[in-house]
Amino acid sequence: MTEHTGSSYQGIAQKYAQMVENKPIHVYYERPAVVSLLPSLTNTRVLDVGCGSGWYAEYLLNQGAKVTCFDVNQEFVNITQSRVGNRARILQADLAQPLKFASDGEFDLVVCPLVMHYLKDWEEPLCEFYRVLQPQGVLVFSTHHPFMDWQLSQKEDYFAVDLLEDEWEIGKVQFYRRPLTLISQNLNSAGFLIERLLEPQPTGDYYQIHPEECHRLTKNPWFLVIRACKRRREGGKEGRSEGGKEGRSEGGKEGRSEGVKEHD
């Protein structure tokens, strides 16, 4: 079991749910970037990890996906429940523990928006994502950009993993900062291959609504969005060894793009 700071949301889940729903950074920045990396969702079996107030669960359901979602915080589970009712399977579970409710290869897609930075170690959770995904399965997640957290951090060592605390309008939240290399290494050793990596840019009406914040986001990275597939071993077996063949990418084409500062 890895340490996590998911309890940061204890007591502020309702406030967070209200704040996050229409917040420009989510509406015009994080969500468009995550959505742009999702595969076709019709009849896709999706695990929505750390579902929070359920925006993604509802979006996925509306696109025709079959959704299982979970959150460590019972308040968020209740909020998502009241949002989507029995259209999804909604569970209280901890990503820092093995995902016992899920069988091997049960899902086509794991979506994990803005959750991973609450976990100190990523290897075990990523191995669980690998396990519950079918061989052609895809992982899409967003997290704090290491550069943003490095600016916030007062520490000396960029290459360390540090516990940081930020003061939001709704309360204090703790999370872990980590170097980009470690993100890549953890994905690789869990058996994933990075297909796409986005440093999003603001979209839509962001500039009209919040020009200063929007301007800052055009000049500074904030979140990182990654799409990864399961690596294949030579000989056709899926697995976690080095140097296998690449898995599929969007539209079934081979290969991957290494987009930096892609626009939505």
Ligand X SMILES: C[S@@+](CC[C@H](N)C(=O)[O-])C[C@H]1O[C@@H](n2cnc3c(N)ncnc32)[C@H](O)[C@@H]1O
Within 13 A of 258's CA, how many CA atoms are on the CB side?
2
Q: Footprint of ligand X on this chain (CB under 6 A)?
A: 4, 6, 9, 20, 50-52, 55-56, 71-73, 76, 94-96, 113-115, 118
CA 232 distance to own-chain centroid: 22
The residue to which tokens 């509406």 are assigned: 27
Q: Are strands 192-198 and 223-230 parallel, antiparallel or unpaired?
A: antiparallel
Q: How far is the CB of 201 from ligand X (least distance, A)?
A: 19
Q: How far is the CB of 123 from ligand X (least distance, A)?
A: 14
Q: Which is nearer to ligand X, 48 or 108 (CB)?
A: 48
Q: Check if the beta carbon of residue 119 is closer than 8 Å to that of residue 182.
A: no
Q: Which is nearer to ligand X, 11 or 85 (CB)?
A: 11
Q: How far is the CB of 112 from ligand X (least distance, A)?
A: 7
Q: How far is the CB of 115 from ligand X (least distance, A)?
A: 4
CA distance 217 to 214: 5
Q: How far is the CB of 142 from ligand X (least distance, A)?
A: 7
Q: Which is nearer to ligand X, 163 or 234 (CB)?
A: 163
Q: Which is nearer to ligand X, 56 or 107 (CB)?
A: 56
Q: Check if the beta carbon of residue 76 is closer than 8 Å to that of residue 94.
A: no
Q: Which is nearer to ligand X, 73 or 249 (CB)?
A: 73
CA distance 2 to 124: 8
Partners of residue 92 on adjacent β-strands: 71
